[in-house]
Structure 1
């Protein structure tokens, strides 16, 4: 069994270096002949990539299509030689046993999709800090998953209609679990740092991704739909408001942004 580790990246070379340091052949507990690492780079800084190629000769660097994260991951998958694809984000710190853990589960021959454990590097300090934690499964966040390549290809990979990093992983998970068995293993670990959300920088992207998901599902925009969106808005408003109080209003503008997005979706 051969694994292809796929890391999409975009202008985050310092973070990428830390990720690759944890995936070096002498760090991972799996035999180096059992895996490859592919970095699909969506940026245009060719000079920095030259430096990375020199620093990490065991990594296969390829140019990304510059069409968003879903397309960038698919680009890496197209170059993969492995029987299984392991997707890890460039800002994650993989555990030294992560590939061995995936391989051990794969060799059982029961599941064709696996999600790994994702935890933060510290306690959350502000409401506007984000981290896609996955401690018990049922998320399938793309910063730490493994999928059999044959199944991935049959599903057409990630839907490139999602132009931004929002909902493309949820969409893939729904399609995947409809056709194969999936599981969660806590031993395949990554650490994901908290990231401050940029003020009002991504709300339009968030809206567009949700619009695409609604359109893809052929959701009728009737009275029942509007009521559901109103309930989601109200629930988010009060739940997030409670969390905001816990952090003493640190991240207030992000709270407004989330509330505004849920409000707008009532009318889309």
Structure 2
């Protein structure tokens, strides 16, 4: 029996149509890496519906597992638990891996490198101030939508931190922990994943997500979080996007969303400080 070298981990949540497109690109005989060298694990946080039946009928070569329903960090960790490969390759359910994705990672492996990141594109492009995508063309981001890590290292690190109160900053936290442990990582230009543009959440949801910044500052960086610095960063990022698409029909909505996001941070800041202060 051949050794499984790579476990592909795909967290999903109520996006069967996009997941199907992702799985189509990972099918045996479609990926240029021999099928016996990799497995695909879909970890599913779906509550109203799941992808279990779709995978059983259309993608029987993939393994479906129920997720813990505790957010994307916990869902990725859950999928990793089932992996039998020496390496864990993470992507998202709204991503399209290139046909050479796994082969590119396989041929890039070098001694003393236990972490690799691929190129993440967005071929559709961003056409609205209310859209975004985690594009990575030159490396150093370690976005979890296109990441390969040695399984034992991932386990020893404790995986993604599941204590973040909202899906925000978990990727950066993993990257910083790897930096602190002196684990070098390598950019693999030919390990390409295309990420569809995502709709930004509403202003309130964006605002609430910044609770993760307070948690990260206190418990990871061990510094007092700065409300002013956070607000400057929010305004700079959102206004840059709005100005870039000035005149777009959704620009007024984006501006209202920015105001709502700022007010949400201001209204919740003291509560977050009390909750996470060490």
* Aligned twin of 2:205: 202
**Do the aligned residues in 2 keep the contact of 1:69 with 1:164 (CA within 8 Å)?**
no
- Aligned partner of 2:111 among 100, 109, 112: 109
1:245 aligned residue:
243
Which consecutive aligned stretches of 4+ in structure 1 deviate over 6 angstroms post-superposition? Answer: none
* Aligned counterpart, 2:65: 62
Provide closer, same or farther for how the CA distance between residues 239 and 79 of structure 1 changes in structure 2, counting only shifts above 3 A: closer
SS at match of 1:217: helix
Contact 2:14 2:50 in 1 (8 A): no
Deviations 1:4-41 (A, max 9, x none): 00001111111100100011112100000100000000
| Partner of residue 22, structure 1 | 25
**C-alpha RMSD of matched pairs (Å):** 2.2
Q: What does 1:1-268 align with in structure 2 at a 5 Å threshold?
A: 2-45=5-48, 48-106=51-109, 108-179=110-181, 180-200=183-203, 202-217=205-220, 219-221=222-224, 226=226, 229-238=227-236, 240-248=238-246, 250=251, 251-260=254-263, 268=273
Tell me, what secondary structure is at the counterpart of 1:170? helix
CA distance in 2, matches of 1:104, 1:3: 12
Unaligned runs of 5+ in 2: 274-278
Structure 2 CA distance, aligned partners of 1:235 and 1:42? Answer: 31
Name the SS of the counterpart of 1:142 in structure 2: coil
* TM-score with structure 2 setting the length: 0.86
Separation in 2, partners of 1:44, 1:98 = 30
How many residues are matched?
Answer: 262
Shifted more, 42-51 versus 133-142: the winner is 42-51
TM-score, structure 1 as length reference: 0.89
Instruction: Give the stretch that moved more between structures: 207-216 or 46-55.
Output: 46-55
Separation (CA, whole Å) in 2 of partners of 1:260 and 1:104:
49
